[in-house]
Chains A and B, each alone.
Chain A
Amino acid sequence: MRLALPLVVAVLAIAAAPAAAQSTDERLDQLEARIARLEDMNAIERLQKVYGYFVDEGQWTRLSELFAEDATLEIGGKGIFVGRARVLEYMQTAFGAEGAKDNVLAQHMQFQPIPDISPDGRIGWVRSRAFVMSNAGWGLPLYENEYRKGDDGVWRISRLSGPFTMYTSWEGWGKNALNNTWPDKFDPPPDLPPTTVYLTYPAYYIVPFHYPNPVTGKPFVPDTGQVGAYHRPPGTSEQAAAFEVGRLADGTQPIAEPPRDR
Chain B
Amino acid sequence: MRGLALGLSLLAALAPMHAQAQSAEARLAAYAERVERLEDEDAIENLQATYGYYFDKGLWDAVADLFAEDGSFEYGQRGVYIGKQRIERALLLFGRLGLGPGRLNNHMQLQSVITIAPDGRTATARWQGMVMLSEPGANGVWGVGQYENAYVKERGIWKISKLHFYVQAMADYDLGFGRGALRLEGPSALFPPDRPPTEVYRAFPSGYTPPFSFVHPVTGEALPVTQPADDVARPK
Contacts and interface: CB of A to CB of B under 8 A. Distances in A.
Interface in B189-224: 204-209, 212, 214, 216-219, 223
Contact of B178 (A46, A133, A136): A136
Contacts of B128: 52-53, 107, 109-110
Interface in A168-226: 170
Contacts of B144: 105, 107, 109, 133
Interface residues of A, number: 47
Contact of A32 (B17, B130, B168, B169): B17
A42 B38 CA distance: 9
B112 interface: yes
Given A100-B228, A105-B204, A133-B144, A39 B38 contact: yes
A101 B228 contact: yes
Contact of A65 (B219, B226, B227): B219
Given A35-B31, A53-B111, A136-B178, A103 B205 contact: yes
Contacts of B138: none
Contacts of B113: 46, 49-50, 53
Interface stretch (A12-20, A23-31, A73-81, A235-243): A23-31
Nearest to A28: B27
Interface string B14-25: 110101100010
25 contacts: A25-B20, A25-B24, A28-B28, A31-B31, A32-B17, A38-B38, A46-B113, A49-B113, A52-B111, A53-B146, A57-B209, A62-B223, A65-B216, A65-B219, A100-B209, A100-B227, A101-B207, A105-B177, A110-B110, A133-B130, A134-B177, A135-B176, A170-B175, A170-B177, A259-B178
